[in-house]
Every structure is written in structure tokens, then in C-alpha cells.
Amino acid sequence: MKARQKRLVLVGLALIGVAGATTLALSALQSNISYFFSPSQVMASEHPSDAVFRVGGVVVPETVARQADGLTVRFDVTDNAAVVPVSYTGILPDLFSEGQGVVAKGRIGTDGVFYAEEVLAKHDESYMPPEVADTLQTAHIDGIIEQTTESLKQ
């Protein structure tokens, strides 16, 4: 083999190696991605039915209920336009409370309940996850538009 052919073989093997490493890295990242959906999007079935995703909003007051096992908690999350029932088994964050922002990661069940694997609460009095704040703002604006439209019809 000539020196030129050896270099071409080495370059070809290097390219194959880089392509293989890139494929492995992308497939590992793909399995860890969880997209964010608002309660309105979840209720409109815009969420993936076979994958983990995140839902966020505000915990509806007076909906937090502990089950008999002591670890399972059921509560509702809203974006002021739709409500999603959430069930979580585990220890909730210390900052979790009614009327506060929350993001839950999990899957939607066939019964329409979101079964969370993880629940994240807001950090302090002024913090709200950006996705939740955007969703609430959009739902608020949509609600105002709907109310205005209804009042004009009457």
C-alpha cells in the first residue's frame, strides 16, 4: 500500500469513528429529553402519549390530598385555562404548597391523571419557572380576550 492510500484509510476510519460517537451521544441525549407542556396543551392531547414530559402551572388551592399510604399525594395543576390532575408518590419538596408554581415530570395515564416521577417547586417568593410564567401569561391573555368577546356578544 502506498502512503497516500494509508492516509485515506486512516481518515476514513477516523470519520467512521466520529460518526459513531456522534450517533451514540445523540441517542443518549434523546432518551433524556422531556418536553414541557402546559395544562391546556395536556388537556388538548398535544402531549406525547408514550414518553416522559413535564407539565407546569400553579397548584390549585384546596386540591392537595394525601392518600392512605402516606406517600402518594394528588393535586391539580392549572394554567388558569385548564386543570390537570397529578398523582405523585414520594416526598414533596419543602417549598411545595397550594397556589404556588410547580413543574412535574412524568407520564399521562389512560385515566387522564398525570403520574409524576418528580415534582419541582419554586425557589423563593419571586421565582417561577420560565415555562410556567409564559404559560400563565398566555392563558391570562387568552382568558381576557374570551371574556371581552363574550361581553361584546351580549
Q: Are 114 and 55 in contact (CB under 8 A)?
A: yes
Q: Are 84 and 42 in contact (CB under 8 A)?
A: yes
Q: Is 127 annotated as a binding residue?
A: yes
Q: Are 84 and 76 in contact (CB under 8 A)?
A: yes
CA distance 5 to 133: 59
Residue ranges for the binding site for heme? 123, 127
Residue ranges for the binding site? 123, 127
